[in-house]
Amino acid sequence: MYPPRLRYVAPKSLDEAFAVMAEYGDDAKVLAGGQSLVPMLKLRFASPAVLVDINGLSDLAYHRAESDGSLRIGALCRHVDLERSALLPGRYPTMAAAAPQVADPIVRNRGTVVGSLCHADPQGDWASVLLALNGQVVVAGKDGRRTISVADFVVGPFQNSLAAGEIAVEASVPAAKGTPYGSYLKLERRVGDFATVGVAVAIETSGLQISRAGIALTGVGPNTIQAIEAEQALIGQALEPDVIARAAGLAAGAARPRSDHRGSAEYKRHVVETFVRRALSSYRLAVPA
């Protein structure tokens, strides 16, 4: 397996990077973690004219909680950084649950969260996690920056909404307004396997009531799927068994799985329902004082 001929540029600043991106347009590809891109090159599924390696832009290697409670993840934040982060548990439970389940430990050392979002693989884990959390992506180019919701950023299988010349520089998760609870349940046969089914659940509560709900699904459709009706069925409700069952059923209904060697469509739909129910049933809501 050998990549095709290509050019390589390692800019020293974002501005330099934007300049190269502008010059090559759609023929340029940003190289961050490279854990999806390099295999694509080796399999010759991708053959960009130039790779713009942003690994030298160490300013992008961050994740931090802002004073408003939002979480910002720079384009060079590796999966392992989140896996080991002390920031996540408690405050961003869905992120904390997902981080160790991405790929395998060595890939996590290199791969990036923002890169995964850009890759837009319907079997990728981060897109559904960020979708459930109402996340956003900051994209930038020589003409400036814009912020796109993850829902609008991941537009199709292996398609994002970056314009030619743009680079995704940051992902962010808004602050929780209530008490956050979250899970990422993934059915995989072995470490490093793609999800047969992945379910990201993120809720916030105010007292015993759900004030915000996010449910998104991995690997059960042509895209990452946001289970909007299931989310809505939770708003304003307490986590009672019937509420949970209804949301789980609606989430399963939102799935668009195909039968393949990982499982039948019915099975995957059933697992979505099971996982949503299990996630929601696992939360022990703090009783307001």
CB of 281 to another protein, least distance (A): 12
CB of 269 to another protein, least distance (A): 11
Select 117 or 187, whichever has its Cβ closest to another protein: 187
How many residues can be counted in the chain?
Answer: 289
CB of 46 to another protein, least distance (A): 12
Output DSSP code: residue 60. G
Binding site for another protein (CB under 8 A): 1-12, 16, 20, 31, 34-35, 38-39, 41-44, 50-51, 53, 55, 103-107, 109-110, 187, 189-194, 196, 258-265, 267-268, 270-271, 274
Alpha-helical segments (H) within 113-168: 113-119, 125-132, 150-153
Select 64 or 84, whichever has its Cβ closest to another protein: 84
Per DSSP, the three-state class of 12 is coil
Select 24 or 92, whichever has its Cβ closest to another protein: 24
Select 133 or 167, whichever has its Cβ closest to another protein: 167
Measured between alpha carbons, how far is 123 from 60 in angstroms, rounded to an integer?
A: 25
- Residue 9 CB neighbours (<10 A): 18
Token pair 């998104």: residue: 216
CA angle 139, 38, 102 (to 5 degrees): 70
CB of 152 to another protein, least distance (A): 29
